[in-house]
Amino acid sequence: MEHNNLSINLLLFFILGVFNLSNVLARPATFLQDFRITWSDNHIKQLDGGRAIQLILDQSSGCGFASRKQYLFGHVSMKIKLIPGDSAGTVAAFYMNSDTDTVRDELDFEFLGNRSGHPYTVQTNVYAHGKGDREQRVNLWFDPAADFHTYSILWNHHHVVFFVDNVPIRVYKNNEARGIPYPKSQPMGIYSTLWEADDWATRGGLEKIDWNKAPFFAYYKDFDIEGCDVPGQRTCISNPNNNWWEGPAYRQLSAKQARLYRWVRTNHMIYDYCTDKSRYPVPPRECLAGY
């Protein structure tokens, strides 16, 4: 009898443990569990039971959405399929922002539309303590409108890394010890927008949007946020070494990641503010500090 009771107790313990673990590991099943529409709700459509969304841009409006919470450090990613064909003058953005008026922190992916047959350009930017103007541009080495691809931001105490399909395309190191600002004190929300920006987006504004091709569609799915939500997880913030994104493996690029990073910069980077002498006759300090 005691043996049977022990077996039953062990079985219950196992079942409850698995149940609790599944709750910890579970990701939001639908878009609206983690996000809210911030702009033009009739231009965002939920697909696949809310597990994916369609963003719409036409002459009447673009659209946007934001996370329900803010986060202080972590890892965020989305799978995105961009506008196919002639998308000149359009911009789709995926970014983190502190939503503060003056001393803003922000980490940007901006996907700049193109004329058919030309590569899509992704622009990244970093704002730290209110200072931005740190643009870099990379031509993607695949057609981002043909299928979904994963775009991720890793943000920890050591660096910010922008990834495309797990390939690092941008690194911004924490060089606070050298007096260089680094975003570390303000929580940030996750945002995305689709809008018309033909005054600058494609070839510096030379290529204008063709509204005859409208409406334009972009698709998002597999929303993944892992971070310390604020206000909320006090122990998460106060014990950063317990968070996987702060672990030793994530404090610098691995040897393989470093090789891929050099490959991107050598073969696909088309603009780097650090080398733009017309804007910066003297390179900004973070450029001299290395990245």
In angstroms, the CA 238 to CA 240 distance is: 6
Contacts of 40 (CB under 8 A, 6+ apart): 61, 62, 63, 64
Residue 110 phi, psi (nearest 5) = -130, 125
Query: Structure tokens of 191?
Result: 């945002």
In angstroms, the CA 8 to CA 117 distance is: 65
CA distances from residue 94 to 82, 103, 188 in whole angstroms, order as listed: 12, 20, 13
Question: 84 and 46 in contact (C-beta within 8 Å)?
Answer: no
Whether 246 is catalytic is no
In the chain, helix, strand, coil percent, each to 5? Answer: 25, 40, 35
The single residue of 2, 110, 176, 207 carrying the catalytic annotation is: 110
The single residue of 106, 196, 207, 286 carrying the catalytic annotation is: 106
Go through 252-279 and write b for each residue having 16 or more CB atoms within 10 A of its CB, e for each that does not.
ebeeebeebbeebbeebeeebbbeeeee
Task: Give the DSSP per-residue string, 202-266.
Answer: TGGGTSPP-GGGPSEEEEEEEEEEEEEEETT-HHHHH-GGGSGGGSGGGSS--HHHHHHHHHHHH
Whether 196 is catalytic is no
Residues marked active site are found at 106, 110
